[in-house]
Amino acid sequence: MSEPILVLGASGQLGQALQTEAMALPMMQRQRFSFIPRAALDVTDQTALGRCLRQHDPAIIINACGYTAVEQAEQHPAQAYQVNQQLVTVLSHYAKATGAALLHFSTDYVFNGVKQQPYTETDSTAPLNHYGKSKLAGEQAMLSIAPAGLILRTSWLYSEFGHNFVRSIWQKIQRGEPLKVVVDQIGSPTYARELAALCIRLVTAERFASRFATTQLLHCAGQGFCSWYQLTQEMLKHSIRQINLSAVSSQQWPSNVVRPAYSALSSQQLQQQLGFSLPPWQQSLANCLQQIKAVHNVKGHSE
């Protein structure tokens, strides 16, 4: 069998997307992957983590673990740093020592949102909240240890899996609920299935470790940008239901977290270096909603 690939965080949104895309591979490629859900491994337990790494002896590690609860990270920053920084540090040291390659994911929330045009990889970081600060600390740890590997910064991740904005709003639309949605935060919505498919192509291609012989950082997000309100408007185009949708400002939205007003990402470097890009966000949203509708129809017929 070819070199083994270990995926941590397999039960999360991105982890489920990675599993779905990997299962579509030919058998020989599919057999390279081992998916470890959170229930099977406490990634903050370094003894258990070390045992898992030694057991699987991966050539490539995909770290799909993340403390992504932005609100809870403000209340429990130590827990966010455990997953978003300390885990990355351990994995980076392991990869460096064993010659494995590490694929890790970061966030648009490492920026403060004052730029008002899509952020590039060379722009200065200045996170506004503990989630963004912990993710930046993870980036810095991996870059300083410099194993073979890649950090992909992404933005506004959604899918048919788990809890996310698109899935939650779509369910409310189908129930006919009136909606108030923030209009003054701008980002680049990214469909997790398409991000996962790109990652699977990367790690199953030849020379992944040699192509990223020392850690690189690239942006990988849906093309274009919009507000949460505009994203909801686009969703309504795919629904036969009419609802009462109103725009609210960030100040009107009850939250204990300061978020960047603008955090759209430019993925131009990804396209130039690797020849990969994700579709425009409107097309990706349509692809995701098609999957959500398909899942709903299957459930409906089985009940």
pLDDT of 251 reads 84
Burial of 261 (0-12, 13-18, 19+ CB in 10 A): middle
Structure tokens at 255: 């939250």
**Residues classed as catalytic:** 131
pLDDT of 297 reads 58
Residues 141 and 289: beta-carbon distance below 8 Å: no
pLDDT of 206 reads 80
pTM of the model: 0.93
- The mean pLDDT values, 10 residues at a time, for the chain of 303 residues are 88 96 92 93 93 95 93 93 96 96 97 95 96 97 97 97 94 94 96 97 88 95 97 95 91 84 96 93 97 70 40
Spatial CB neighbours of 56, under 8 Å, sequence gap ≥ 6 = 4, 6, 34
pLDDT of 302 reads 40
CA distance 152 to 54: 25
Strand intervals (E) in 96-235: 101-107, 148-154, 157-158, 179-182, 186-187, 190-191, 216-219, 226-227
Question: Could you confirm whether domain 5-163+189-224+265-280 is CATH 3.40.630.40?
Answer: no
CA distance 139 to 141: 5
Compute the residue count for the chain: 303
| Domain boundaries, given as residue ranges, for the chain | 5-163+189-224+265-280
Identity of the amino acid at 155: S
pLDDT of 257 reads 87
222: left (phi over 0), alpha (psi -120 to 50) or beta: beta
pLDDT of 288 reads 97
User: What does the angle CA 133 – CA 137 – CA 139 come to, to the nearest 5 degrees?
Assistant: 115
